[in-house]
Structure 1
Amino acid sequence: MTIKYLFSAMLILFIPVYLLANGNVTGKVTDAKSGETVPGATITIPQLRITTITDGKGQFTIKSLPNQGKYLVQVQSLGYKPMVKTIDFAVSGSLDFNLEPSSIETHEVIITGTPITSNNRYNSTSAAVVSREDLLAPSSNLIDGLSRQVPGVSQITTGPGISKPIIRGLGYNRVVTLMDGVKQQGQQWGDEHGVEIDQNQADRVEVLRGAASLMYGSDAIGGVINVLEPLAPASGTIKGEVLSSYSTNNGLSNSSVMLTGNENGFVWRGRGSYQNAYSFNTPGGYYINSGYNNTSFSGMLGLNKGWGYSHLNFSYFKDNIGFYDSDPGDPLYTGNGTSRSLDYPRQDIRQYKIALNNNFIIGSGSLKLDLGYQKNQRRELDEPTPALFFDLNTYSLDAKYYLPESNGWQPIFGISASDAHSVNKGTEFLIPAYDQTMAGAFGYIKKTWGQNTFNFGLRYDYVNNDGKQLFIDGAQKFTGFKNNFNNVSGATGYTHVFNDLLSFKANAGTAFRAPNPAELGSNGVHEGTSRYEIGNPDLKPERSYQADAALEFGKNIITGSLGIYENYIHNYIYASATKGDQITLTNDAGAQQTYDVYRYGQVNANLYGIEGNLNIHPTSFLHLDNIFSYTHAQNESFDRPLPLIPAGVIRNTLRFEPKVKGLSNFYISAGLDNYFKQSRIDATFETPTNSYTLVNASIGTTLKLGSQPLKLYVSGSNLTNKKYYDALSRLRPGRLSQEDPTYGVFNPGRNITFGVYLPFNIQK
């Protein structure tokens, strides 16, 4: 039975659980010191995907809830320390919360992307949460925004329009991006392919650093980016938002409109977004044809009832991106680059997605079931007809059954599967058409006693790849390949909360990643990278042995965390080049072009590093926030550094929040991004990058339009217009045929962003 038939069968099987009962809860939120009520506080139950706010008397009501089971409830309000409590819905009575006044950050955050939803202080996984407020900070895309705020996260870029996530030095198919409970399936293997997600969709993002293969399978050996959309509002409420921004460097305009509502448990959401940018400007001039534009539509229809929830999500994302097809010695900059028309060559990327997310309450346990279908299309065009055209269709299933908690023990069991089918519809070919089937099963248990938690899990994975043979004009283009891989992985973790000031967490385990079809079967010109890639059908799976540990500390004036990690990967896969290894091809016009040849191979690799943050709050209106990270990566087989490893970085931000009459949430901030020199490179095809410091600043406030808040901000980055090359920029100078040390494209220069954000509530 294929995944697409199982998709339908699983949906029909669990329809009867819809008949369970509903319940309502009421409560009140008060100030722990003064005893006064707190209007406008947000009450969230992430496991049930519902949220509400307190009224003018600090009271709230949440309808259509289960009448049994234990759930985490998070309460937040500006100026107070967030509170996370476990509530047993089988116990009747009012839910009253007493919030402690506070103006500083806290570790009291719920993480949903780990096997068991939990308070981050009692969760061993190294995780960070980026809120909606932080996501409004100027960025060209979602990954760009995360890399500025989360220690250990960086990005491989091809100008501002394309960013690929890197976590602790690992990227590509080693990092899973999750949206609507479904793994994003596109061309994760390629250098110049971004994440096909509208950055405006995210209400919050969870970043899991370190192997998450236990829950998400083979491709989560490096970590997970879990993108979460807005939760359903309280019954009888319609919420929405309008946002818009403009950036001066590349004329990036970003606009988005969203509405979401809840009518007696029937929930819905709709969003439309549009971005448009012309070529980005460096301190040396505009980079030719680097503009882009994307259009996105998404929506949700669902039910939130006492039996749980069922949400049907759908989205469409189209991205048009220009790129400059250059050779060494060609001019890289030209005149005024403010035209928004894209020339050839360019990419046309389209992502269609349907996801059905369910959480069925079964007695005191629950079954979480996510079904997905995605169509990913990538066209590379030198003219209106695409030369290279990938079409990938993926069906997926993920099911987890949560047994009732007993004496602090929380066990769950899960299965996952996917069925992918790729075809080539163009006239040029890079990788063969292929079929890929993946399946896995895991068991996980968590024990909590006192201030301690312990968890342990095992997982089995099976991956089958079938690459198709191809002949062109009688010559064999792809030999084809058939292989399958299987593996057992394990992980364990421990946390201990010493007191309000200090907590400790640690993890150890093994992870597994099967080689992907691009690594196994490539044989052609990768136009976006201007190189000829050759795969290796004899590649073996990567096997990771990983450990990490972290301390989280502080209260009031000083808070922070410090973490260390090591990850030894046996049979690490990457493409490398050797000087002189080239191929010359003749194009349709009869002209010849020479490409460097990159071949996929394997080595043993060791990556270790440090990451953390230190936040100092000498007063309620002054904050000094610092994040830092460093990764050391060694090719153990050839005793040289691994390629494409981020430089160490320290980011410092001083934020001043004075009380200004007539304004609320007024702030002024200034920051320095300090990047170290990256001389640990694979010198066969990389060049080092120098250290540099970027100066940033921002100012913002919130006004009132009636009862609705209107947030205004102005933010500047690289204010000194610094010339620099980032270590993970694909446009920086390289070796091989790019001998001229001046060849390369500087990262973007000065950029100032003007933004407006209007969230609103409509109470019936």
Structure 2
Amino acid sequence: MRTLYLVFISIFVGINAYSQIKISGKITDEQKNPLSGVQIHIGESETISDANGYYQIHSLEKGNYEIHIFLDGFNELIKEINLTQNQTLNFTLSKSVMVLEESVITHIHQKNVNNVETVNQEFLQAEYSGSLAKSLEKIPGIQAMEIGSGTSKPVIRGLGFNRVLVAENGIKQEGQQWGADHGLEVNPWSVEEVKVIKGAGTLEYGSDAISGVIALNNDSKPLPNSFSGDWILFGRIANQAIGSSLNLRHRKENFFYKFSASYTDFADYNIPTDHIVYLTRQIPIFNERLKNTAGNEHSVSAQVGYTSTDFESVLTVSNFYQKIGFFPGAHGIPTLDRVQDDGDRRNVEFPYQNVNHFKVLSESTLRFHPNSLKFSFGFQNNQRQEWSLFHTHYGNSQTLPEIDPDLELDFNLSTFDAQVKYQHQFNRKNKLNIGVQSQSQKNSIKGYNFLLPEFTRFNIASYITNEWEINPKWNVNYGVRFDHTEIEIQPFYDNYLYEFLSQNGNEQADEFAQRSQHLEKSFNNINGSAGILFQPNSNLDFNLNLGSSFRMPTAIELASNGIHHGSFRHEQGNPNLDTEQGWTSDLKISYHPQSWNLELNPYFYYFSNYIFLQPSGIFSPLPHGGQIYKYSQSEAMLTGAELKIEKKFWDRLNAFVSVEYLYNRQITSSNSTDYPLPFSPPMVFFTEWSYELVKNKGFVKSLEISADAKIASKQERIAQNEEITNGYTIFGAGIKSELNFNQFRANILLTADNLTNEKYFNHMSFYRALEIPEMGRNIQLIVRIPFGK
């Protein structure tokens, strides 16, 4: 009997084991490249694909199942299957980000609650206009604040400086963002993807993301057992720029490295005028070239990493250097002698600036399928120097420095970042994110002039967000964040100013000479946001995001006291400033049937204590300082809308149209002082039409021509100390081609901007206050040669 029982049990177990089914297969993208880290859910079982895209799931019963496959950046794949035996099932995922296809940004239906625009490397290279910020201007709501030759700052909905946060691989880019003459210190050719997050969906990023986030990513993994790269050559006529960039990518099974290097040299740039007007005085511009705007920049970065199903680690080291001249009038009133043509278009004389940005970023991820734990660390050293031939406004009281006598200002900022993020996935429709972030900063100063004191700053923050797909039509995202910040500012006493004022009988000499007081402040903030995505069908999306926003006052706002050449005035900080706080609402409606894509994006911002520079009515004690502008706070509001229309005709013709409108103002007790906020862009209409002439004929894989027009209205709503800027219309054109000669490939892009050589002003330009127009006609050539496989 016992033997019979054992036989029965053995047969039952054998039958049961035999009934268990295994599925396996490979996950790839549309180019048949394997995808690692893909999550696969079937029934109560789940797994993740390995470095080669392979997966397998055991112990499944016979029956009907719904398999769910998803990976960040790709459309989720849902498929019904019937299991009767072991099966091999391969799947292909399609990208869910905006891609540049024939010069038009195309929309793919995706479940993203936040207002996010994503562009890839191909878009960035095709739209390159001398700087990264300028390359993003086709995205509605993004503007570039021009600084000069190939340098600009990003502006989102009229808010820039420390109200736009730029992050690289999740770590905030730290420099002197507060200055109008400081650009982004990033190599645009090494950036692989840019996400622009507008409105209230910036909770994870914290302070400085009050208007939005520009998230730069260059952490994609090369394919297993591959080697590839590209070599880029480019040139521009308007400033005789020439440059080159090299990118390399190599990977074995799990280990990989990437390398990028670039160099650009540019000359004084052309402007379509023979004179400018500065403080009612006419200054000649010789040969229509803006003297001393030449310069050069170079960057290098290296990345090494390890990737597998359960663990991933990447280390990135980079250095960016730039030297660029200032037009002589940018540092004091230009004289005829200083603006005379010196016969050398590429030399850089006084005044000029040096910028060096060194970064080390480390990111490691542990996966406990389907959960993960990510550690991010960063170190940055940003050094910015302004060099100007030694001069003193204090008569004979200030002596020539023995070391670096012509170093006017030197800011050396070191920043340490540490972040931990845990992602818990309750199921494929419900994801929880918990994060802790900390940052420590120290800024030192040198130079014979003074603007900003030394300071240290420490921040620690935590946040929790939840992403929940209620059903296929409704998705929500909500969260809360807490920040604690401490800042200590060192005192600075100006002996030279004291002697100068005393000799001139100023009874307040001692008070004015104390340029900076010792200051210790701390700030605490709790903020939250919530978003809803409603998709009634596959052609229609409604995104609504609401949230509170905040920004810690910076050292420049709390304790500056000097002539800021970037703003052409004496700026004075206010140690009594509170945290800038407000509320944000953002609605995005997308309609994209077949070959159409229409997006309407109205928004509204309210600030309870917006920080701005206000004329004080007090004359500056600094020689040639003029009136003092003090940092103050008041209520403010900002509203506007962005419209984007895209259409593809007959598989060859593409149309792109965008319209941007913005209105803002301060809210004070008197309507007479309700001025608009500074650097407010005018209403802008932009359109681009492209047509593919040739497609897959011989060695010409594609040949496309394009034409565009940009119309900006007159900006009469101006802040204090700003000038009215007239409207303008400029035209452009381009030719793009992809060539294949056996194993040799090349992408060629020839573009022309400002074809009519129009004289116009960018209201947000660094040189606008000097009545200096934008660049004249410019022709640009970019040749990209990819290689490897």
TM-score bracket relative to the smaller structure: 0.7 to 0.9
Distance 1:235 1:305, change over 3 A: same
CA distance in 2, matches of 1:502, 1:253: 45
Tell me the SS of whatever aligns to 2:222: coil
Closer/same/farther in 2, CA of residues 98 and 315 from structure 1, 3 Å limit: closer
2:548 pairs with 1:517 = no
The yes-or-no answer on 1:72 pairing with 2:70 is: yes
Equivalent position amino acid for 2:319 in 1: Y
| Cα shift at 1:328 | 5.3
SS class of match (2:384): strand
Instruction: Indicate which of 447, 461, 473 corresponds to 2:483.
Output: 461
Q: Which of residues 656, 664, 667 in structure 2 aligns to 1:625?
A: 656
Task: Determine if the alignment matches structure 1 residue 480 to structure 2 residue 518.
Answer: yes
Confirm or deny that 1:368 pairs with 2:406.
no
The within-5 A match list for 1:35-50 is 40-41=31-32
CA deviations over 1:629-651 (Å, ceiling 9, x no partner): 11111111232211211111111
Aligned match of 2:311: 308
Q: 1:680 to 1:366 in 2, by over 3 A?
A: same
Partner secondary structure for residue 404 of structure 1 = strand
Q: Which amino acid aligns with 2:214?
A: I
Pair 1:131 & 2:169 matched: no
Match of 2:388, as an amino acid? D
CA gap 1:298/1:595 in 2 versus in 1, 3 angstroms: farther
Matches within 5 A, 1:263-302: 263-284=252-273, 285-302=288-305
Aligned residues: 682
* Residue 788 (structure 2) pairs with residue 761 (structure 1): yes
Q: CA deviation at 1:308?
A: 2.8
Return the alpha-carbon distance in structure 1 between the equivalents of residues 479 and 78 of structure 2.
23
C-alpha separation between the residues in 1 aligned to 2:36 and 2:28? 15
Write out per-residue CA displacement over residues 12-35 of structure 1, whole angstroms, 9 at most, x where no aligned residue: xxxxxxxxxxx9962567xxxxxx
Match for 2:666 among 635, 657, 667? 635
Give the one of 744, 747, 751 matched to 1:715: 751
Equivalences for residues 200-211 of structure 1 within 5 A: 200-211=189-200
What residue is the counterpart of 1:15 in the other structure? none
Task: Give me the whole-angstrom Cα distance separating, in 2, the residues matched to 1:151 and 1:214.
Answer: 22
Q: Is the 8 Å Cα contact of residues 51 and 254 (structure 2) preserved in structure 1?
A: no
User: Identity of aligned pairs, percent?
Assistant: 27
Give the match's secondary structure for 2:425: coil
Partner of 1:114: none
TM-score (norm 1): 0.84
Secondary structure of 2:771 counterpart:
coil
TM-score (norm 2): 0.82
What's the offset of the Cα at 1:133? 1.6
Number of the residue aligned with 2:631: 600
- Name the residue aligned to 1:569: 607
Cα deviation, 1:90-144, whole Å, max 9, x if unaligned, reads x9843323879x9875433xxxxxxxxxxx7321211112221221123111001
Is 1:241 the counterpart of 2:233? The answer is no
Measured in 2, the distance between the counterparts of 1:99 and 1:443 equals 30
Letter in 2 for 1:668: I
Alpha-carbon distance between aligned partners in 2 of 1:87 and 1:263, rounded to the nearest angstrom: 33
Does the aligned pair in 2 maintain the 1:67–1:306 contact within 8 Å? no
Distance 1:665 1:334, change over 3 A: farther
SS in 1 for 2:179: coil
Q: Which residue of 2 aligns with 1:54?
A: none
Q: Give the CA deviation at 1:260.
A: 1.0
* SS of the residue 2:774 aligns to: coil
Q: Contact (CA 8 Å) 2:603, 2:641: kept in 1 or not?
A: yes
Cα 1:65–1:484 shift into 2, 3 Å: farther
Contact 2:147 2:183 in 1 (8 A): no
The aligned counterpart of 1:142 is: 132
Matched residue, 2:773: 746
Higher radius of gyration, 1 or 2:
2
2:447 counterpart of 1:430 = no
The CA deviation string for residues 162-205 of structure 1, in whole angstroms up to 9 with x for no partner, is 31111111111111111122100000111110111111111121
Distance in 2 between the 1:705 and 1:642 partners?
54
Aligned counterpart for 2:177 among listed residues 182, 188, 191: 188
Say if 1:130 and 1:204, in contact at 8 Å, map to a contact too: yes
Question: 2:19 aligns to what?
Answer: none
Equivalent residues in 2 for 1:96-115, closer than 5 Å: 96-97=91-92, 106-108=106-108
Tell me if 1:545 matches 2:589.
Answer: no
Aligned equivalents of 1:700, 1:450: Cα separation in 2: 40
Ranges in structure 2 where 5+ consecutive residues have no aligned partner: 1-22, 40-48, 58-66, 81-85, 96-100, 274-287, 390-403, 499-512
Letter aligned with residue 746 of structure 1: P
Q: Secondary structure at the match of 1:63?
A: coil
Cα offset, 1:531, TM superposition: 2.4
User: Alignment partner of 1:282: what SS?
Assistant: coil
Change beyond 3 A, Cα 1:372–1:673? same
CA deviation string 1:464-498 (max 9, x = no partner): 11101122438423112111111110100000112
Q: 1:687 aligns with which of 698, 719, 723?
A: 723
Out of 325, 328, 333, which is 1:322 matched to? 325
| 1:165 is the counterpart of 2:186 | no
RMSD, aligned CA = 2.8
Judge conservation of contact 1:245–1:255 (CA < 8 Å) in 2: yes
* Amino acid corresponding to residue 715 of structure 2 in structure 1: Q
Paired with 1:289 and 1:47, the residues of 2 have a C-alpha distance of: 53
What letter is aligned with 1:263?
K
Structure 2: distance between partners of 1:399 and 1:540:
28
Aligned to 1:676: 713
Query: What's the CA shift for 1:406?
Result: 2.5
- Distance of 1:343 and 1:99 partners within structure 2: 52
Give the 3-state SS of the residue equivalent to 2:583 in structure 1: strand
Q: Structure 1 residues 221 and 86 mapped into 2: Cα distance closer, same or farther (>3 Å)? A: farther
| Aligned equivalent of 1:589 | none
Task: Compute the displacement of 1:84 (Å).
Answer: 4.8
TM-fit CA distance, 1:315: 0.3
CA contact (8 A) 1:66 1:306 kept: no
Q: How is 1:392-411 mapped onto 2 (pairs within 5 angstroms)?
A: 392-406=413-427, 408-411=429-432
Closer, same or farther: CA 648–279 of 1 in aligned 2, 3 Å:
same
Matched residue, 2:168: 179
**In the alignment, which of 462, 465, 468 is matched to residue 444 of structure 1?**
465
Deviation at 1:157, TM superposition (A): 1.5
What is the alpha-carbon distance in structure 1 between the residues aligned to residue 635 and residue 558 of structure 2? Answer: 18
Q: Alpha-carbon deviation of 1:729?
A: 1.1
Match of 2:686 in 1: 651
Whether contact under 8 Å (1:645, 1:727) holds in the other structure is: yes
Change (3 A) 1:456 1:653: same
- Compared CA separation, residues 644 and 435, structure 1 to 2 (3 A): same
Tell me the SS of whatever aligns to 1:259. strand
For 1:412, the aligned partner's letter is N
Aligned-residue offset at 1:716? 0.3
Change (3 A) 1:461 1:713: same
Check conservation: 1:181, 1:357, Cα contact below 8 A: no
Offset of residue 628 of structure 1: 1.8
Q: How far has the Cα of 1:313 moved from its partner?
A: 0.5
Structure 1 Cα separation of the partners of residues 352 and 637 of structure 2: 37
**CA distance in 1: counterparts of 2:68 and 2:206, whole angstroms:** 28
Asked if structure 1 preserves the Cα contact closer than 8 Å seen for 2:35 and 2:53, the reply is no
5 Å matches for 1:48-59? none
Does the 8 A contact of 1:238 with 1:261 survive in 2? yes
CA-CA distance at 1:304 after TM superposition: 0.4
Q: Is the 8 A contact 1:178 1:225 kept in 2?
A: yes
Letter in 2 for 1:161: G
Contact 2:51 2:309 in 1 (8 A): no
Give the deviation of 1:426 after TM superposition.
2.5
| Cα offset, 1:421, TM superposition | 0.8
Letter in 1 for 2:314: H
